[in-house]
Structure formats: structure tokens, C-alpha cells
């Protein structure tokens, strides 16, 4: 694990401790109803991300709603009216004892080169993320910011991390707003670097064609093409995940939630197995 990953993890630990000590809404009653709402892009969405696999790891009495949509950014998710559904759900809590966690992950489509989706890293992205946090808290929900899932493009054996600036910006918003932060970017980057390119390619939606396996050009990341607006990916790329990748990263997010949100631990199945998701 590199020094940047270590710093990120230490930051998350500090943020989570601060939240636990300062926020009464994190006090969880054993008879509370738990609801988890996922907000993000294709790396969290159905068929292309880890979101559904994460939902399957919760107890049957936990409502886990995956509202992540492919190709969306922190700006376009709201602009298209998708955020309205989140607010509607928060207003319609089943009972006063319902605890609603809203996991929010953006960054991939906020990067430059995506007309109608890209946001400015300094003046727009952090403002958008902070606004989501504020609105979740105003509706008595618990926001959980998630740094963007790593891409899996290697160059000369080294895994790129061109999403780190967006991860850093998310961390800063979490610090300023005293919000729980899951360091998914740092942890997923470290894990993928450790497994190497060949193993990382097995996490994709489809197997790599021979051309991708053997040409250096396959390592050139065209982020505008990797996350098109609309339907989930069905071919090989190094951004989206298939069944194996979804299970791998869902487990990672589960462990992060258990570490940084202790109150949610009992909401997970005690012995989840991959075949349970089939």
C-alpha cells in the first residue's frame, strides 16, 4: 500500500471517529428498521457495478435500494431528477425508528471530456457532494460518502489512479461536513495493484479479447468512452465489473461499512456466501 493510500485510510478513521462522537443520529436501536439507498454511477449500478451485490449481503429485513445509474455525474444525477426519488424515499420513512443510510459515490463521470456530465473539480464537484450531504441530513438520513471505485488500467505493471483528485475532493467534503467516509478508491486501488493486471481483468463484465490482452494500446484510458450515458456495459473494459468483480468490491464496501459505521454491522448477514446471490 502506498503512502497516499495510508493517508486516505487514516483520514477516514479520523472522520468516522469524529462522526461517532458527535452525531446522535448514529445511535442505533436494535429494533430499528434499516434502509440503505445507493446513489452513484455505473460502477455502483445494476449489471455494471457492485451495488446489487452489496444489497444482497444485507439481512432480508433490510431495505437496500440501488438507485445508481450508469453515466451519471454528481451534476447530471440531480439535473435528470434522479435525486428527487432519494428525497421522496427519505420523506416516506416506514416509521420514526427507520434508520436510512444513503451511500453517495461519484467521480467517474465528473471528469473532463463528458459533455453534459463533467463538472469542475474545484467549483462544482465538491459543492454538489456537499449539497447531497446537507439534504440527506435535513431529511433525517445518514449520508455516507464513498470515494470512486478504481479503474483497472495498468501501465508498465503500475495501476493508474486518475480518479484520486476526485477521491481527495470527496474526502475534503466529508471532513468539512463531518460525514462518514468510505475510502473505496484507496482500498480498491491497493487491492487491484496487488493482484496484478491479469487477475484484475477477470473482474470485468466480459473476458478480454486477445487484442486487449496483447496490445499496449489497451492500457490507454479513454474515460469518455468507458462510461457512456445510458445502458450498462456488456463488453470488456477496465472500469465496469461482472459477477466476480461485483462480489469482490461489494465485500470490500461491506467491510468498510462495518469498520466506519459500527451501527450497521448487525444489518449484514452473518455468513454471506457468493452462491447466495445466485
Torsion of CA 10, 146, 239, 223, to 10 degrees: -100
Beta bridge partners of 145: 104, 181
Query: Could you give the number of structural domains in the chain?
Result: 1
Res. 171: pLDDT tops 80: yes
Q: What is the pTM of this model?
A: 0.83
pLDDT in tens, 115-143: 999 999 999 999 999 999 999 999 999 99
Q: 138-147, 175-184, 269-278: which has the minimum mean pLDDT?
A: 269-278
- What is the domain-level CATH number for residue 166? 3.40.50.1110
pLDDT in tens, 82-94: 999 999 999 987 6
How far apart, in Å, do the first and last CA atoms of the chain sit?
A: 33
Q: How confident is the model at residue 225 (pLDDT cuts 50, 70, 90)?
A: low
CA–CA distance, 19 with 95 (Å, rounded to integer): 24
Res. 217: pLDDT tops 90: no
Domain span at 165 = 3-24+31-277
Enumerate residues 6+ apart whose C-beta is below 8 A from 190. Answer: 1, 2, 5
- DSSP codes joined into one string, 184-221: HHHHHHHHHHHH-HHHHHTTSSSPPPHHHHH-GGGG--
Q: How confident is the model at residue 224 (pLDDT cuts 50, 70, 90)?
A: low
Average pLDDT value for the chain: 86
Amino acid at each position: 500500500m502506498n503512502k497516499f493510500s495510508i493517508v486516505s485510510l487514516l483520514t477516514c478513521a479520523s472522520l468516522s471517529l469524529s462522526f461517532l462522537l458527535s452525531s446522535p443520529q448514529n445511535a442505533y436501536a436494535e429494533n430499528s428498521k434499516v434502509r440503505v439507498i445507493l446513489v452513484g454511477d455505473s460502477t455502483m449500478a445494476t449489471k455494471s457495478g457492485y451495488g446489487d451485490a452489496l444489497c444482497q449481503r444485507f439481512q432480508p429485513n433490510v431495505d437496500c435500494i440501488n438507485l445508481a445509474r450508469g453515466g451519471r455525474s454528481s451534476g447530471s444525477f440531480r439535473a435528470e431528477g434522479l435525486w428527487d426519488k432519494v428525497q421522496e424515499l427519505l420523506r416516506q420513512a416506514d416509521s420514526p425508528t427507520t434508520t436510512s443510510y444513503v451511500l453517495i459515490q461519484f467521480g467517474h463521470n465528473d471528469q473532463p471530456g463528458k459533455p453534459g456530465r463533467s463538472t469542475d473539480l474545484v467549483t462544482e464537484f465538491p459543492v454538489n457532494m456537499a449539497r447531497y450531504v446537507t439534504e440527506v441530513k435535513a431529511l433525517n438520513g445518514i449520508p455516507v460518502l464513498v470515494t470512486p471505485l478504481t479503474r483497472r488500467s495498468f501501465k508498465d505493471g503500475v495501476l493508474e489512479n486518475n480518479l484520486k483528485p476526485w477521491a481527495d475532493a470527496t474526502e475534503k467534503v466529508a471532513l468539512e461536513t463531518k460525514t462518514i467516509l468510505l475510502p473505496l478508491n484507496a482500498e480498491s486501488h491497493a487491492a487491484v495493484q496487488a493482484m496484478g493486471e491479469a487477475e484484475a481483468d477477470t473482474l470485468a463484465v466480459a473476458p478480454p479479447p486477445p487484442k486487449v490482452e496483447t496490445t499496449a494500446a489497451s492500457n490507454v484510458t479513454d474515460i469518455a468512452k468507458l462510461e457512456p450515458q445510458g445502458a450498462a456495459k456488456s463488453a470488456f473494459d477496465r472500469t465496469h465489473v461482472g459477477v466476480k468483480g461485483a462480489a469482490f468490491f461489494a465485500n470490500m464496501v461491506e467491510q468498510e461499512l462495518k469498520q466506519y459505521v459500527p451501527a450497521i454491522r448487525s444489518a449484514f448477514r452473518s455468513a454471506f456466501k457468493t452462491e447466495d446471490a445466485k
